[in-house]
Amino acid sequence: MKEQFADSTRALALAFLFYLVVVFGTGVVWAVRGGELALVGAVVTALVLLCIGMLPLITGRQSDAGEKPLWPPLMLLVVPTAVLAVALPSLIVSLFLGARAVDLTHDFELSSSELSKEGEPVTAEAETGRTKARLYITFDATESDPNRPVCAPASTLTVTPLWGTSAKDVRPGEEADFRLGRNQKKIELKVQMSAGDDNCLLALKVAAARMDD
């Protein structure tokens, strides 16, 4: 069986091409998905299969018969073909996804969803697998009695990024934007409400959030 496989130039080329596509394709998906362990295992498996498929090429077709291994010129065409088969579509998808904003509205988690007092800090956290240059986020504030808004219209929210960028004061429902760090995937913000009245209680929520360039 081994000798028959080694003697088949077409079968070797197709097998080599298949393994390369699997390796490159899995690696691309792994990078996009953030490196899950299942995909790491798939890459390792593909590499093992690639090595097995390459053994007949390394050892030669029939060394005792003096036949040369099937390297050039056929195998030299397989590698760039496999790279193009995966790299070109991946590049197109990457450029398409890279041009779109990343919606984080439902990814943020607040340290407290209860009513917060004057000056009491609330932390908002989110993680993403993609990176962008800026964060745009809008907080809403709800009073204990939404039908009688007293504190929310006059309140100010001080939003402080925990990665070193300057804080900004905004009104509830007003968008704040911050520059993100290079390759930053974890976002943490501290939000403090100020209404000028110690009796004011407000519940914060993220109304909208996105990353964009």
Q: For residue range 137-184, list pLDDT tens digits in order.
A: 999 988 877 676 778 888 899 999 999 889 999 999 999 999 998 888
Region 55-62 average pLDDT: 54
Asked whether the predicted pLDDT for residue 207 surpasses 50, the reply is yes
- Where residue 16 falls among pLDDT bands split at 50, 70, 90? low
Decide which of 166 and 195 is more confident.
166
Q: How far apart are CA 121 and CA 193, in angstroms?
A: 8
Could you tell me the two tokens for 72?
């050039």
Asked whether the predicted pLDDT for residue 189 surpasses 80, the reply is yes
Decide which of 82 and 174 is more confident.
174
* Sign of the four-CA dihedral 25, 26, 31, 33: positive
Asked whether the beta carbons of 173 and 142 are under 8 A apart, the reply is: no
Q: Is the pTM of this model over 0.75?
A: no
Question: Quick one: what percent of the chain has pLDDT higher than 90?
Answer: 27
What is the fold of 102-212? Jelly Rolls (2.60.120)
Please state, in angstroms and as integers, the Cα–Cα distance from residue 78 to each residue in 16, 44, 59, 89, 194, following that order: 7, 21, 19, 17, 65
Decide which of 171 and 48 is more confident.
171
Q: How far apart are CA 64 and CA 175, in angstroms?
A: 76
Asked whether the beta carbons of 211 and 142 are under 8 A apart, the reply is: no
Q: Where do the structural domains in the chain lie, given as residue ranges? A: 2-98, 102-212
Strands lying side by side in the sheet with 175-179? 102-103, 202-212, 134-143, 175-179
